[in-house]
């Protein structure tokens, strides 16, 4: 069994500004510092004309697959830069923030499985189906579709939706509380959680509650990634005061709905970084050369957090340059790929939106 990932070489760092790892009194973020960094390369558009894209996964051949939330479509970006329709995930029911969300890939005994998280008529669910064909002619074998997990609560918002295979080979699934915060504290409910499954959908061995739940007390997690030491990181939408970056522990309670942001409470794990929602609304995240990149929707920027300097402030880059940012993944040659999200009904589309961009971090 081979999990399909991409490696990334070192990227040069330095930065723009903002926000401390703990909140100051009241809803105002920490003071902004003066930026000195300048970009070393022009942004490269890899794909354009996407409609409400949500997730991107890179392919070993240099291409990628992109999910579109509202129409349930999968777009292939070929190694030579062409775009083509791969197919549509069956039974996707869109509405509000729900639709087709996260994607993940797994090679298992000669079969390449495409996993997808999507809204159905009455729930959110994870499905998988074989990905057939060669680059430039990929297709979905929907006749072999398996429902990996269903019954995840669905609402007009707070639907979670990120998928990723972890270093342990298990499938991690992020869910939202579907507008009912009490779900997040119930270890028997799938809402407001990070779930850990075997590739065929069974609760993973050694899960802390004996079911699919890995961590609880979440409002709406849309990003997960791992640093090389095996530490798991997750981005989480707050309500009105603080968005969060959390270090995830098995069985951890992250406080929602009793706590938002840093609470210094004995019954919950505090985030390692927080932002005012207007500056973040974090979705996809990635680890690039040891630092965590966090895509901001409402904040229209990319946040950078260095776990090796936990007392340092996260910093922001590309603020306002590309609009809403939905996903970020490592790219080749010291770059990373960012998926914009200006056609989702909340953004202001620009020429060519939505786009998949190749970027590098600024130098200073």
Smallest CA-to-CA distance from 162 within 149, 150, 176 is with 176
Mean pLDDT along residues 215-226: 98
Provide, rounded to the nearest whole percent, the portion of the chain with pLDDT above 70: 88
Mean pLDDT along residues 352-358: 98
Q: Please report the pLDDT score of residue 26 as a whole number.
A: 32
For residue range 109-164, list pLDDT tens digits in order: 999 999 999 999 999 999 999 999 999 999 999 999 999 999 999 999 999 999 99
Distance CA 310, CA 290 (A): 12
pTM: 0.90
CA atoms within 13 A on the CB side of 296: 28
Ordered by where they begin, the domains of the chain are 2-359 (2.120.10.30)
Distance CA 201, CA 170 (A): 9
Burial class (CB in 10 A: 0-12, 13-18, 19+), 230: exposed
For residue range 32-59, list pLDDT tens digits in order: 332 333 444 689 999 999 999 999 999 9
Q: Please report the pLDDT score of residue 364 as a whole number.
A: 52
For residue range 228-262, list pLDDT tens digits in order: 999 999 999 999 999 999 999 999 999 999 999 99
């Amino acid at each position: 069994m081979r999990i399909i990932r991409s490696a990334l070489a070192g990227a040069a760092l330095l930065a723009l500004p903002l926000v401390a790892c703990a909140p100051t009194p009241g809803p105002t973020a920490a003071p902004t510092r003066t930026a000195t960094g300048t970009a070393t390369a022009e942004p490269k558009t890899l794909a354009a004309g996407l409609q409400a894209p949500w997730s991107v996964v890179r392919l070993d051949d240099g291409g990628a697959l992109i999910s579109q939330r509202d129409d349930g479509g999968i777009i292939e970006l070929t190694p030579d830069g062409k775009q083509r329709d791969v197919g549509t995930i069956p039974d996707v029911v869109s509405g509000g923030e729900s639709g087709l969300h996260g994607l993940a890939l797994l090679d298992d005994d000669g079969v390449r499985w495409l996993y997808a998280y999507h809204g159905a008529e009455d729930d959110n669910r994870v499905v998988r189906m074989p990905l057939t064909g060669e680059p430039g002619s990929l297709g979905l074998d929907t006749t072999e579709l398996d429902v990996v997990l269903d019954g995840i609560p669905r609402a007009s918002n707070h639907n979670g939706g990120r998928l990723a295979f972890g270093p342990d080979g298990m499938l991690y699934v992020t869910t939202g509380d579907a507008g009912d915060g009490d779900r997040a504290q119930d270890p028997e409910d799938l809402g407001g959680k990070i779930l850990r499954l075997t590739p065929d959908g069974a609760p993973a061995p050694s899960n802390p509650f004996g079911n699919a739940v890995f961590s609880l007390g979440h409002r709406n997690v849309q990003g997960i990634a791992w640093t090389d030491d095996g530490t798991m990181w997750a981005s989480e939408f707050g309500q009105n005061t603080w968005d969060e970056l959390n270090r995830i522990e098995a069985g951890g309670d992250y406080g929602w709905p009793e706590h938002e942001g840093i609470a210094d409470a004995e019954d919950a794990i505090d985030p390692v970084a927080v932002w005012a929602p207007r500056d973040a609304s974090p979705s996809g995240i990635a680890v690039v050369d040891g630092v965590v990149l966090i895509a901001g929707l409402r904040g229209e920027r990319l946040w950078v957090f260095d776990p090796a300097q936990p007392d340092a402030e996260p910093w922001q880059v590309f603020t306002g340059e590309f609009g809403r940012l939905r996903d970020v993944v490592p790219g080749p040659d010291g770059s990373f790929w960012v998926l914009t999200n200006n056609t989702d009904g909340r953004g202001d589309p620009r020429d060519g939106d939505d786009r998949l961009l190749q970027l590098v971090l600024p130098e200073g």
